[in-house]
Amino acid sequence: MFKQQDLMVRSLGGCRFPSPLCFAQPSEGKKSHFVSDSTRLRVNVEIGTKDCGPDEPSFEEAGPRERIYFDPSATTAAIVTCGGLSPGLNNVIRSVFYELTVNYGVNKVLGIRNGYLGLNPAAGLPPIRLTEEYVQSIDILGGTVLGTSRGGQKASVMADFLAAEKIDILFCVGGDGTQRGAHALHEEVLRRGLDIAVIGIPKTIDNDIAFVRQSFGYITAMEKAAEVIRGAHVEARGAIRGVGLVKLMGRDAGFIAAGAAVVSQEVNFVLVPEIAFPLQGQGGFLAALEQRMDKRGHAVVVVAEGAGQHLIESDNTRRDASGNLLHEDVGLFLKTRISEHFAASGQPVSLKYIDPSYFIRSVCANVYDRILCDQMGRHAVHAAMAGKTGMLIGFEHNQFINVPIPVVVAQKKQMDVTSDLWRAVLQVTRQPHW
């Protein structure tokens, strides 16, 4: 859906300085660890009938460049974390800091407090000067030491702040709303002719950012969600006609619900935003749940927060501070409808409802996500130091890529219900295909 010109990353100008990164080994070429701007990765890696031509859409490969735009000794960088929490935020902050200071030699790194609010002087939140003592142990903490908030600030106000603080690079860690704000800021900086790089680092526990196959925090979320599901299964089996109902994150995509169900292997129904399942009637969810209860005497249901909205009356106009559509609480809705259905049939159930969302968001990242955080943070620094701007670090085909932010925010990634992941869900649950 995009042309090649849409995927070209903007640069502040020619790279004037040799990179201080020198990790070449005697057995390898002197420049073997650098990536060329001309190295690109096809959007579609499937083998077709034609070769990859110059006009076929392709991404710029992420990684360190041999020459860089900013003079490290004279560069000031800043990091801002926005939106909801996700495991790994502190790991990203730490990795960006160390890549900037240890490998590139940047002397001044600032932490912007409480999201984009910290870029508005009226908020009275002066930035924090990050030091090794400040960041060295934050990787074992959940949340973000810089604080966060939802909602944006005027691009002109944020640009004034960057100019006043003499900030050369801003790393924006956040989801779609954050990246839209980063793009607006980038456009304002560009309009003023300022030498400031704006780089996005994708953060979404829901794993729903386009061109990011797997976002940091997602694997940790699946792991913790599977533990909760295990508890729900124990509760359901231990009660007479027990039902464990677990609501998980997933405003627009059911990746966490689906993945956790496959990991746990103890779920009987997975309800996701991508499938408008029927509630009533033959073949509906309640009838299928009743059949399960009659056969086995217990059940576990996992529902993503954005599922089932077609069943709930809503004006569909309420939005949060980040501009996201506010959904009705499908967990409480299903809790009521399940209880009413079985009470009316004369066979009531013992229903345990669990919503662990805020617990899962606040934990520290697991080993896999720590590695992913580190890689994304360092690739963001490579891009910034090379003078790239208005872009986000993507992750496709097991490769890190540089992607223009407008391309990223132009679409929402959802789970493919013809994919192997959803087929695995159907195998585990044996629920109707709907």
CA distance 365 to 173: 16
CA distance 205 to 223: 12
User: 112 near 80, Cβ under 8 Å?
Assistant: yes
User: 85 near 224, Cβ under 8 Å?
Assistant: no
SS3 of residue 209 by DSSP:
strand
Residues catalogued as catalytic: 206
| Torsion, Cα of 100, 64, 43, 45 (10° steps) | -130
- Please identify which residue in the block is written with the tokens 């934050």: 138
CA distance 100 to 377: 10
Cβ neighbours for 376, distance < 8 A, ≥ 6 positions apart: 92, 95, 201, 202, 216, 393, 395, 400
User: 289 near 244, Cβ under 8 Å?
Assistant: no
Angle, vertex CA 352, rays to CA 348 and CA 356, nearest 5: 155
Sign of CA dihedral 66, 71, 72, 76: negative
Could you give phi then psi for residue 399, rounded to 5 degrees? -130, 145
CA distance 370 to 364: 9
DSSP of 157-189, one letter per residue?
A: HHHHHHHHTT--EEEEEESHHHHHHHHHHHHHH
